[in-house]
Amino acid sequence: MTFQAVFGSEPDVIAAAPGRVNVIGEHIDYSDGFVLPFAISNRTTVSIKKRADKKIRLASAQRQSSLFETSIDELKPGTEGKWELYPLGVIWALGIKDGLDIYVDGKVPLGAGLSSSAALECSVATALNQLFQLSHDVKDLARLTQKAENDFVGMPCGIMDQSISLMGKSGHALLLDCRDLSTKLVPMDLAASDLELLIIDTQAHHSLVDGGYAERRAACESASAKLGKSMRELNVQELEANKAKLTDTEYRRARHAVSEIARVLDCVKALETKNFVGAGQLINQSHISLRDDYNVSCPELDVAVEASLSTGALGARMVGGGFGGSAIALINQSDIVSTKSAIKKAFAENGFKEPRFFQSLPSAGAEIITGLE
């Protein structure tokens, strides 16, 4: 199916935006930390045409049997819907008042923690910014797409996913400061060093029985209050010296946050000098910290990491919220087949569901493919 097959005309503008993977910097966005994601090669493409009325029609290559219809005048937070809420939220956040025909073709895998929602939001925002000559820069669009997801869809996400989807650059990761939202491109030309990032979707999803994220965030905030410093201002030595002031849980949660913030900055230095072995070691340390101090890993993630390292990966770790989802492994391109095989074998031996694999090099961010000049 194409835009023309669904709507009987050609679109005014076509744009695309990628999903993302976070190299390092996990569970520290809410502690004023840093994150280091890159844009993956999998992208969502959106084709849009302006209408003469107020009607919005949405179709998707992945859901060919359904055509969603609503009106500009009916857009408001709390609107009922599923995937349609993401493009509708962007239309609402950008203040568009014209009717639209929209066709979506999503190639970012769903449910793998690769931010398919941000890819959809950012492709729509990029297309509308061009179509209506809104002149928003990428930082504006990042804030507006985050607003769409927070206020319209009702998902309290941070701004990392939208930022990297809009600002990604081929051969680079993006250092994002979660305190002031400043960014810096960091060279990460894996291909030139015959390396690849393997993304392992464990297909495991464990529910949190202990209050999960809220408990962890509260422990970091409590430690910060007791020590009179933010996680960002503390270092591991200070934390160690004041260990007696904290409960064991507060200490371990804070140790993850403080050490992970330092690891992100050390990883940037390693990448800037093409020290991929050093970067890999930091990725390994991140996993150990998430597993032992933050307690957000699970058997499937641990097995994926261990199997990757057993076949020569430079580094491997769980990514995302934890308790399932995906892991990443920084590997030599020549080891792709053997690494996948080792992980599959280990999963089978443990009675786990067969994992899915994706490969990516750091890729470009959102772009206009064709549209009004």
145 and 225 both lie in a single domain: no
246 and 183 both lie in a single domain: no
57 and 163 both lie in a single domain: yes
Q: Which residues are catalytic?
A: 161
Contact yes or no for 20/114 (Cβ under 8 A)? yes
| Residue type at 53 in one-letter notation | D
Output the pLDDT for position 208.
Answer: 54
Output the pLDDT for position 372.
Answer: 57
Q: Is the pLDDT of residue 214 over 90?
A: no
| Residue type at 177 in one-letter notation | D
232 and 184 both lie in a single domain: no
User: What is the SS3 assignment for 370?
Assistant: strand
d(CA 302, CA 112): 16
Q: Is the pLDDT of residue 284 over 90?
A: yes
d(CA 89, CA 194): 40
User: What is the SS3 assignment for 307?
Assistant: helix
Q: Which domain holds residue 274?
A: 191-360
128 and 215 both lie in a single domain: no
Structure tokens at 310: 């057993």
Split at pLDDT 50, 70, 90, the class of 198 is very high
CATH number at residue 294: 3.30.70.890
Split at pLDDT 50, 70, 90, the class of 355 is very high
51 CB neighbour count, 10 Å cutoff? 15
d(CA 191, CA 168): 16
179 and 208 both lie in a single domain: no
**Which residues lie closer than 8 Å to 231 by C-beta, 6 or more apart?**
28, 31, 32, 33, 220, 223, 224, 254, 257, 258, 261
pLDDT of 115-126, one tens digit each? 999 999 999 999
Q: How does DSSP assign 317-372, residue by residue?
A: EE-SSSSEEEEEEEEEGGGHHHHHHHHHHHHHHTTPPPPEEEEE------EEEE--
d(CA 22, CA 176): 11
Measured between its terminal Cα atoms, the distance across the chain in Å is 26
195 and 337 both lie in a single domain: yes
Q: How does DSSP assign 259-285, residue by residue?
A: HHHHHHHHHHHHHHTT-HHHHHHHHHH
240 and 126 both lie in a single domain: no
Structure tokens at 142: 């990042």
User: What is the SS3 assignment for 174?
Assistant: strand
Output the pLDDT for position 263.
Answer: 98
User: What is the SS3 assignment for 102?
Assistant: strand
Output the pLDDT for position 256.
Answer: 97
Q: How many CA atoms lie within 13 A of 373 on its CB side?
A: 0
98 and 198 both lie in a single domain: no
Q: Is the pLDDT of residue 348 over 70?
A: yes
CB burial of 90-103 (b: ≥16 within 10 Å; e: otherwise) equals: bbbbbebebbbbbb
Structure tokens at 69: 């219809």
Q: Is the pLDDT of residue 209 over 60?
A: no
The H or E element that residue 317 is part of is strand 315-318
d(CA 122, CA 13): 14
166 CB neighbour count, 10 Å cutoff? 27
Query: Any alpha helices (H) in 49-110, and if so which ranges?
Result: 85-93
Q: How many domains does the chain contain in total?
A: 2
Output the pLDDT for position 69.
Answer: 95
Percent of the chain with pLDDT over 90: 84
The residues with which 70 forms a beta bridge, in sequence order, are 56
Torsion of CA 129, 132, 135, 139, to 10 degrees: -20
CATH number at residue 178: 3.30.230.10
pLDDT of 56-111, one tens digit each? 999 999 988 789 999 999 999 988 888 999 999 999 999 999 999 999 999 998 87
324 and 337 both lie in a single domain: yes
Q: Is the pLDDT of residue 210 over 70?
A: no
**pTM of the full predicted structure?**
0.90
The residues with which 37 forms a beta bridge, in sequence order, are 22
d(CA 51, CA 101): 7
Q: Which of 200-204, 268-272, 313-317, 367-371 has the lowest mean pLDDT?
A: 367-371
207 and 262 both lie in a single domain: yes
8 and 125 both lie in a single domain: yes
